[in-house]
Chains A and B, each alone.
Chain A
Amino acid sequence: MSPGEPLLEIQGLVKAFGDRRPGTPVLDGLDLEAAAGEFVALIGPSGCGKSTIFNLLAGLIQADAGSLLLEGRAVPHLRGRLAYMQQKDLLLPWRRTLDNAILGLETQGVPKAEARRRARGLLDVFGLSGFEDRWPDELSGGMRQRVALMRTMLCQKEILLLDEPFGALDAMTRAQMQEWLLKVWARFRPTVLLVTHDVEEALVLADRIYVLTSRPARVKEVVRVTDPRPRAMTRPDLVRRKADLLRLLADEITPVAA
């Protein structure tokens, strides 16, 4: 694959919900692309249909129109090539840390002993050493998200969909988790699609940021961030970009009628 060619292309994605035809449109011709190993963020007003995009990519729901290209070939969905992580950690309460982390390996048919061996070697990377035998109930919110992240990474898929993965965490823990994510991303180099409503999070993490319109969602603007990582939000150019992005988003929020 040539360096310029995108790994993933989304073209003219349309989706409407509801019993009535044509239904309430959620996505209205969404175009998006991501290169192999690229970190792409999607931001938009809340309820603009960001999670719908992910459910379409994961094949949990069907698009009404539009196409999905993977390495230039049309595919119905990306299942089998992607791993998914959302705000809810979705840890199984009856599995300890290590066994939660290997869930994706197990469903791929890797024998349990082999899966555990692989996971054990990565506990350190995710800051979970010493916690491998804990039940999810015994872990803090940040730790639970790290187990979920570890489960996601252990699937060894080339595309990661992260749907507001740190949305439920406090600011300190979130900053810490963003550092983890960058470390893990640098190590495994998957293509990342991150949905977030946090402008700073997008600026600190992503190579490119897609700003979406309010529902029905289209791409309003694409912003490229080339600053070297780790990025401190105190840098003047990032502060300026944050203001720009916030202004773009503010345009999309319909003023409340008086």
Chain B
Amino acid sequence: MKRLVDVALPAALLALLGLAWQAAVWYWRIPAYLLPAPSVIIATMWRRADLLAGHALTTLAEIGLGFALALVLGIGLALLIHASRILERAIMPLVIASQTVPVFAVAPLLILWFGYGLGSKVVMAAVIVFFPIVINTVDGLRAADPDILALLTILEASPWQKFVKVRLPQALPFVFSGLRIGVAVSVIGAVIGEWVGARGGLGYLMIHANAQLQVEMVFAAIVWLSVLGVGLYALVAALERIAVPWRFRRLSS
């Protein structure tokens, strides 16, 4: 019942805003090349569904591959940082300093190095997602309760057993909060990459539609992007419920 209300309320508000928008366009006779009415956008999405879906698939592939790359490299680096105090002190300041470089400023270079195709966008998304994953995983590995680790010492657990039985499960929720932040920004990364130079994808579609004053197509692409972002977020949240079930028990019981 509560879940239904949680969905119904924002949906109702969205519908209301859409109606107001529709009415405003109609009342003030706003031309479609400035602000198309929701009905026009929906019609465009329906008519050009295959075109939009094709570009959406390209963007989704970029995000998915970028995410996978960032996950492997990010968790790998976090483990390395955790394993060695020296590495931690060498790497962490650089990881944090690297965040002051605006990733979007690097986009033209990535296009130069990795081409107009999938590669540059995958790297772009990966670079953006990488940071929250590394930081959160390192925090998570550090979060283990010292009393629990002492208990494991008394139980004569090996360092490997301590790692697998305590540190890893303790870190998992942290990794997932990194992923949730990452998933939201990865969409931005892919789209910016497509704006700078691409042969496909929703960002590419937006730039071209905008140049031809097909504003309804720009909006259609934006709607698709939101759906992608929300969908990916929901996917991560669902995976979290499977991987970290103990965190959700208290709420449901």
Residues of A within 8 A of B (CB): 58-60, 79-80, 82-84, 86, 88, 90, 92-94, 103-104, 106-108, 135-138, 155
Contact = CB atoms under 8 A, between A and B. Distances in A.
The 7 tightest CB contacts between A and B, nearest first, are A107-B157, A94-B169, A107-B155, A135-B249, A137-B250, A104-B155, A135-B246
Nearest to B158: A107
A60 B154 contact: yes
Contacts of B209: none
Contacts of B158: 107
A82, A93, A136 pick with most chain B CB within 10 angstroms? A93
B76 to A, nearest CB: 23
B165 A92 contact: yes
B147 interface: yes
B155 A155 contact: yes
A94 B246 contact: yes
Contacts, number: 59
Contact of B155 (A59, A88, A94, A103): A103
A106 B145 CA distance: 19
If over half of B's interface residues share one DSSP class (helix, strand or loop), that class is named, otherwise mixed; here it is helix
Contacts of B148: 90, 92
Contacts of A80: 156
Nearest to B151: A90
Interface string B196-233: 00000000000000000000000000000000000000
A75 B154 CA distance: 15
Contacts of A108: 155-156
Contacts of A82: 154
Contacts of B253: 138
Contacts of B145: 90
A29 B155 CA distance: 28
A209 to B, nearest CB: 25
Nearest to A58: B154
Contacts of A135: 245-246, 249-250
B152 interface: yes
Nearest to A137: B250
A90 B246 CA distance: 15
A107 B162 CA distance: 9
Interface in B31-74: none
Interface of B: 145, 147-148, 150-158, 161, 165-166, 169-170, 172, 244-246, 249-250, 253
A138 B154 contact: no
A86 B166 CA distance: 18
Contacts of B161: 106-107
Contacts of B245: 135
A140 to B, nearest CB: 13
A80 B153 CA distance: 10
Nearest to A84: B154
Contact of A106 (B150, B165, B172): B165
A88 B146 CA distance: 12
B151 A84 contact: yes
A93 B144 CA distance: 12
B210 to A, nearest CB: 49
Contacts of A83: 154-155
A138 B155 CA distance: 25
B246 A93 contact: yes
A48 to B, nearest CB: 21
B169 A92 contact: yes
A90 B166 contact: no
Contacts of B249: 135, 137-138
B156 A137 contact: no
Contacts of A106: 161, 165
A107 B249 CA distance: 27
23 contacts: A60-B150, A79-B156, A84-B154, A86-B147, A88-B147, A90-B147, A92-B148, A92-B169, A94-B244, A94-B246, A104-B155, A106-B161, A106-B165, A107-B152, A107-B156, A107-B161, A108-B155, A108-B156, A137-B246, A137-B249, A137-B250, A138-B250, A155-B155
Contacts of B172: 94
A139 to B, nearest CB: 11
